[in-house]
Amino acid sequence: MQTLGFLGPRGTHSEAAALFLRGRIGGAELRPYPDIFSVMQAAADGETDSCIVPVENSLEGAVNVTMDTLAQSDDLAIERELIWDIHNQLMAKAPTGEVRVIYSHPQPLAQCRQYLKEHFPQARLVATESTAKAAELVAGGERGAAAICTARAGELYGLSAVATEIQDSMTNSTRFYQLRRRPVPSLGEQESGRALIICQIDGARAGSLCAVLEEFAARGVNMTRIISRPARTGLGVYIFFFDLEIEAGKSREPLEASIAAVRKKSFWLKDLGRFPVLEK
């Protein structure tokens, strides 16, 4: 049986996404890791067959550690993308008591910012490495403590709901990538999906980004996302991530030609593959 790494411990949003993905790929042994870098490194080293990691949240934007690790890795490519709806619950050991401190991962704390301001303005907010860790801490018995976590985490640690669906937007969702070592099977010609490339261009030359974007526009290639991140080689030096749309049944020649043209205009370029997109 293949193995699938995820950000643990049990009860995280990442585990929920991994459980769903396991059902879609025909079974896998799930292996939790303490942080996103460790999840990705395990897949890159062959310790797991693949991994699932968060890439972007619809409210809080890109998950920087995932993007930076992808940019630095020569071993990993994207097998598929999963769009996962996020549901945050406020859980406590004694749900009728006063809430004085709230634990959670920084992302859910930010995703529930307005709710917390309105309902628990005096509560102290404490960041933890995962939502499940927050539930574990609250289960330890601290009086007045609550956790923003998944319903599953609350069940695992014996907590009850203080409030449900507390995210500031009901359209809150997270984009996950399933990653594995190269080579990764490519998207079928009759399948829709996306491509992702990462490159560094000459930022000191005026119009260099515009020249890259024109390569996509001139060939009718739809760019669905662009993200810049520090190149970590000097102040003001950036790399760019481009998500490119692939339509089922249409020729891939414009896509491949545009990527080849951008490669010539870049100091370096990494192509992370052609992959399908699942939604839950």
pLDDT, residue 198, reads 97
Residue for token pair 């976590």? 149
| Pairwise CA distance, residues 10 & 1, whole Å | 20
Residues 249 and 146 occupy one common structural domain:
no
Q: What is the DSSP string of 138-200?
A: HHTT-TTEEEEE-HHHHHHTT-EEEES---S-TT-EEEEEEEEESP-PPPPTT--EEEEEEEE
pLDDT, residue 206, reads 83
Long-range contact set of residues 230-239: C-beta below 8 Å, sequence gap at least 24: 231/200, 232/68, 236/203, 237/200, 237/203, 238/200, 238/203, 239/71, 239/198, 239/199, 239/200
Residues 60 and 96 occupy one common structural domain:
no
Q: Which of 181, 208, 240 marks a domain boundary?
A: 181
| CA separation, residue 191 to residues 23, 94, 271 (Å) | 20, 50, 19
Q: What pLDDT digit, counting tens, does each position of 165-187 carry?
A: 999 988 889 999 999 999 888 88
Residue 39's CATH number: 3.40.190.10
Q: Please report whether residue 187 resides in a domain.
A: no
Contact 154, 84 (CB under 8 A): no
| Conformational region of residue 163, where left means phi above 0, alpha means psi within -120 to 50, and beta covers everything else | beta
Residues 61 and 128 occupy one common structural domain:
no
Q: Which of 128, 151, 181 marks a domain boundary?
A: 181
| Pairwise CA distance, residues 213 & 217, whole Å | 6
| Three-state secondary-structure class, residue 65 | helix
Residues 152 and 21 occupy one common structural domain:
no
Q: What pLDDT digit, counting tens, does each position of 20-29 carry?
A: 999 988 899 9
Residues 80 and 8 occupy one common structural domain:
yes
Q: Please report whether residue 47 resides in a domain.
A: yes
pLDDT, residue 236, reads 73
Question: Other CB atoms closer than 10 Å to residue 207's CB: what's the count?
Answer: 9
Q: Look up the domain containing 52 and give its range.
A: 3-86+172-181
Residues 138 and 252 occupy one common structural domain:
no
Consecutive 10-residue runs of the chain (280 residues): their mean pLDDT?
91 92 91 94 97 90 93 95 93 86 93 95 93 92 91 93 92 93 87 95 85 95 94 82 94 96 95 92
- Share in percent of the chain as helix, strand, coil (round to 5): 30, 35, 35
Helix H or strand E segment including 270: strand 266-275
Long-range contact set of residues 136-140: C-beta below 8 Å, sequence gap at least 24: 136/9, 137/103, 138/91, 138/92, 138/93, 138/103, 139/93
pLDDT, residue 60, reads 79
Q: Please report whether residue 186 resides in a domain.
A: no
Residues 106 and 35 occupy one common structural domain:
no
Q: Please report whether residue 220 resides in a domain.
A: yes
Q: Which of 147, 181, 215 marks a domain boundary?
A: 181
> What is the distance, to the nearest Å, from the Cα of residue 240 to the centroid of all Cα atoms in its chain?
17
Residue 267's CATH number: 3.30.70.260
Residues 124 and 198 occupy one common structural domain:
no
Residues 45 and 177 occupy one common structural domain:
yes
Residues 238 and 259 occupy one common structural domain:
yes
Q: Please report whether residue 188 resides in a domain.
A: no
Residues 20 and 62 occupy one common structural domain:
yes
Q: List the one residue out of 42, 30, 29 whose CA is nearest residue 180.
A: 42
Q: Please report whether residue 139 resides in a domain.
A: yes
Domain count, the chain: 3
Residues 70 and 104 occupy one common structural domain:
no
CA angle at 119 for the pair 175 and 168, rounded to the nearest 5°: 20
